Amino acid sequence: MKEPLTVQAPRPVRASWKVLVIAFVLLVLSGCAAAPASVPVATPIPAPTPTVLSDTERQTLAEKAQTTLRAELVATYPGVTVPTVTRERFIRLNETAPVLSACMTAEGFPSYATLYNAVAGYVPPGQEQANAVANYICNTRFPLDPKDSVPLNDSQLTYLYLYQTTVLIPCLAFAHVTVDPPPTLQDFIDSNHVEGGSAAVWAPVLKGTAGALGDGISKQCPIMPEHLKD
């Protein structure tokens, strides 16, 4: 069980010795002592309880995902030569965009990670099939860990909601990023349980602004918390 994610309280500002001397003189003259300001108490976020997969279940999901990846490539580009690629390792959800964007760039298609942990880049006209093959290569070398493809349960959704509303939103606001107001926790959970996903699922950043933010803000204010699926 991972330790609860904790929102750090701001550090108090240090006063100079001159300010302290003046404050002390005023205190003596007034004849009374002021109560010290209280330091904000850190608010812990309860750790989630992820769904546990057996090794067999994990391997089955990995094989299914690889079969789907290959089928989509062949269906989109019939007659394409599917390269033989060896899986190097599974990657976790929070490293998907950095790893895959680096791989796509190495394959000749400069890419970058977005705030939503997605890969974005420019595909020159006439290079669509080559880009699709590069995408197949990268996703085969670095497939998503099967346990990250399992839908989030209520404890994980609660953890995600609390992280995004108490940690992510303040971080984005400090960076002057437009933030969507959050729904209630129950509405957030319900929208995530809709079969096949829901367009109503809340995200803290307006989708119109996410692409322009680049990977700088995604590193400063990660949209996904650590240990969400650990």
Q: What is the mean pLDDT of residues 131-138?
A: 98
pLDDT at 34 exceeding the cut of 70: no
Which carries the bigger pLDDT value, residue 177 or residue 67? 67
The pLDDT tens digits for 141-156 are: 999 999 888 889 999 9
Question: Predicted confidence band at 193 (pLDDT cuts at 50, 70, 90)?
Answer: confident
Q: CA 223 to CA 36: how far, in whole Å? A: 36
Question: What are the CA-CA distances from residue 105 to residues 92, 98, 132 (Å)?
Answer: 19, 11, 13
Q: How many Cα atoms occupy the beta-carbon half-sphere of 229 within 13 Å?
A: 16
Query: Of 187, 173, 183, 180, which Cα lies nearest the Cα of 220?
Result: 173
Crossing angle of helices 207-220 and 96-106, rounded to 10°? 100
Cβ proximity of 75 and 146 under 8 Å: no
- For the chain, the domains span 55-148, 150-220
The pLDDT tens digits for 65-124 are: 999 999 999 999 999 999 999 999 999 888 899 999 999 999 999 999 886 778 999 999
Q: What pTM does this model have?
A: 0.61
Q: Which two tokens stand for residue 193?
A: 């349980």
Q: How far apart are the first and last CA of the chain?
A: 8
